[in-house]
Amino acid sequence: MTWKHPSSPVTKKFKVQSSAAKVMATVFWDAKGVILLDILPQGQCINAARYCSTLDRLKEAIRRKGPGLLRRDVLLQHDNATPHSANLTQQWLQRYGWEILPHPAHSPDLAPSDFHLLRPLKRHLGGMAFETEDELISELRKWFDNLDVDFFRVGINSLLSR
């Protein structure tokens, strides 16, 4: 309800257009490129169980990259989101011996994905329109596949200085 003077002009209502569906993607990457791009199915949300199943897929993707890669330590950088800090996730990480780099609360400068990976992706996708979710996912995969290896190396090395 809006309060207005009786002589005020009639308020025009704009036609509301439904926005495009959002796509949630989780990207795991290292100095050599993307290891796993996990797209969350429409209507699902990230919780600890879903995140642990994503970690299972990550573990398999690392195994496929080459024998012996899982023998060395795996370091992950998480933020403090609930699925990352949940007991179920912590148990999964302990079982497989994966280490989490500390991430102080409210420290976006320590998350290389935010500024090094997602900012250029947003720039690339800016102004594009997709008819279907599959078109968007295809464009995401194409963009990641076309990135130079140096792009990922620079992103990981910038983490060292932070």
Predicted pLDDT at 109? 57
pLDDT digits (tens, 9 = 90+) for 109-125: 556 677 788 889 999 99
Examine the pLDDT at 10 and tell me if it is beyond 80. no
Terminal-to-terminal C-alpha distance of the chain: 50
**23-37 tens-digit pLDDT:** 888 899 888 889 999
pLDDT (0 to 100) of residue 18: 56
Q: For 57-87, give one letter per residue: b (16+ CB within 10 A) or e.
A: ebbebbeeeeeeebeeebeeebeeeebbebe
Confidence of residue 162 (pLDDT cuts 50, 70, 90): low
- Segment 121-161, tens digit of pLDDT: 999 998 888 888 889 899 999 999 999 989 988 887 776 55
- Average pLDDT of the residues in 82-94: 92
Global confidence as pTM = 0.76
Alpha-carbon span 48 to 81, nearest angstrom: 10
13 phi and psi angles, rounded to 5 deg = -100, 130
| Spatial distance between the Cα atoms of 75 and 67, rounded to a whole number of angstroms | 18
Are 61 and 36 in contact, with CB atoms under 8 Å apart?
A: yes
User: 80 vs 160, which has greater pLDDT?
Assistant: 80
CATH of 25-161, one of 3.40.50.720, 3.40.30.10, 3.30.420.10, 1.20.272.10: 3.30.420.10
Looking at residue 115, its pLDDT comes to: 73
User: Strand runs (DSSP E) across 58-134, as ranges?
Assistant: 75-77, 99-101
- Of 100 and 58, the structure prediction assigns the larger pLDDT to 58
Q: 40-73 pLDDT, tens per residue?
A: 988 888 999 999 999 999 999 988 876 555 545 6
Q: Assign 75 a pLDDT band (cuts: 50, 70, 90).
A: confident
Detail the DSSP E strand segments found in 40-146: 75-77, 99-101
Q: Cα dist. 157→69, 78, 96, 130 in Å?
A: 20, 17, 25, 34
Pairing state between β 75-77 and 99-101? parallel
